[in-house]
Amino acid sequence: MTRNGVGSGRRKVARRAGAERAPQLSDIHFPVGGPRLRPTLEDFLEMLIHDLGVDHSGDALEVLQKQRAAWRVNQVRAMTASLPDVAAEALRDAGYTVTAPDDSSIHPDRQTWLTRY
């Protein structure tokens, strides 16, 4: 934060870099994870680049976007494996044909997992 936005590509942040005041927490956009998931390391690193002007390689933002997309796909796979009945219902609602396996005991009740802190 001591850089106070020096190096950021955002105009608002770059203007802040010229001010002679210490940056405030309210100056920072904290990522909350996009439309459906919790923040990722990629979200945090991109926030550092945009809001604090952290030095980065020329392709850093592209790499972060690709890795964020891969992480989100993996999260969908993990959630689908954990809650296959919910995933099947969502797919049916979207018009897909989904057939449950013959042995429905394959997937135990996940209620405790859903509510665990």
How do residues 11-42 score in pLDDT, each as one tens digit?
Answer: 666 666 666 666 677 767 777 766 677 888 99
Q: What does the alpha-carbon distance between residue 41 and residue 38 come to, in Å, rounded to a whole number?
A: 10
Residue pair 52/28 in contact (Cβ under 8 Å)? The answer is yes
pLDDT at residue 114 in the model: 73
Tell me the per-residue pLDDT of 48-92, one tens digit each, with 9 for 90 and over. Answer: 888 888 899 999 999 999 999 999 999 899 888 888 888 999 999
Q: If you count them, how many residues does the chain have?
A: 117
For the stretch 84-96, what's the b/e string if a residue is b when 16 or more beta carbons lie within 10 angstroms of its beta carbon? beebeeeeeeeee
